Structure 1
């Protein structure tokens, strides 16, 4: 059973400048979500960071909210939290795969994101993984976001995005500009 295994965890990163983290949670299973948030908040605070928490309807909306915040706010890192429990239809696979894929794409565009969206077979698995004093997957997701942020700061901050980005009514390759006044 996975819960009996031991895993190596990295030391908590330290920061010279303040850290501002957005926690985005889908509270569909409220008691699970509350435990995930408690673990994430404790990890961020232990690293000396500040956090804000927002709620969205479901796991599919978590990446969208992070994408919006990445464009319109000044957060340093993001923690994605929620829980998807397998049901009787293929909706489970859609939600798990698409939320994870969207978070990965946002990360590849330069956002520091820890993914704590649990994907489990049943409620008991979710409960065990979410407990802040147990497996603490919320704290683990916050730690992942903080480690990515530490790497970003070590290597000189964020760069222009990867891939394609909108430019008015057109699409352009990230890191390039059609505007001669923009480097």
Structure 2
């Protein structure tokens, strides 16, 4: 059975930093959206240099009006400096602000781990893949907003 909101259009923004992890997150997100009948074309997948750049790209995509939601994928692994905290905080707050500003679901599929191993575990091709979870959250939020907006339009 096709999902009732399979006709939605979703973009995916993926950080190219830590590709051994983000490629797995991307596969998980694409697989999850496919199970819902959502078609994501290669043109709908946009590369970002790193996690810090995700919010601006996601907000720009949302403002085009072409997409019902944007899934953001990245990976920040703690090193020896405070850089990890600044990038993680900037990405998370930036994505939240972009979603609120555009009233478009922009989901946070950015791993913030302490080790490479933790990141690899969360990007494996299994049910625990965090890219899969971010795609599911985006799809569910699109559905919730459509329901809310249609009910308000009728009221």
TM-score by shorter chain over 0.5: yes
CA distance in 1, matches of 2:63, 2:125: 31
Q: CA deviation at 1:72?
A: 2.2
Match of 2:144 among 151, 174, 181: 151
> In the TM superposition, what whole-angstrom CA distance separates every residue of 1:16-60 from its partner, at most 9, and x where no partner exists?
460111000002111111100000001111111122211010001
Quick check: 1:113–1:148 contact (8 Å CA) kept in 2? no
- Return the index of the structure with the highest Cα Rg: 1
Is the contact made by 2:123 and 2:131 (CA closer than 8 Å) also made in structure 1?
yes
Structure ranking higher on relative contact order (CA contacts 8 Å, 6+ apart): 2
Residue 40 (structure 2) pairs with residue 38 (structure 1): no
Tell me the distance in 1 between the aligned counterparts of 2:35 and 2:5. Answer: 14
Name the structure 2 match of 1:135: 128
- After TM superposition, list the pairs within 5 Å mapping 1:24-63 onto structure 2: 24-51=13-40, 52-63=44-55
Tell whether 2:83 aligns with 1:83: no
Structure 1 runs not aligned, ≥5 long: 1-12, 160-183
Unaligned runs of 5+ in 2: none
Alignment partner, residue 67 of structure 1: 59
Q: How far apart, in 1, do the equivalents of 2:90 and 2:57 lie?
A: 14
Matches within 5 A, 1:117-128: 117-128=110-121
Q: Measure how far apart 1:107 and its partner are.
A: 2.1
Pick closer, same or farther for the CA change 1:40–1:16 going to 2, 3 Å: closer
- Counterpart position of 1:113: 106
TM-score by length of 1: 0.75
Q: Which moved more, 1:100-109 or 1:137-146?
A: 100-109
C-alpha root-mean-square deviation of aligned residues, in Å? 1.7
**Hey, which bits of structure 1, 4+ residues long, moved more than 6 A?**
none
* SS of residue matched to 1:49: coil
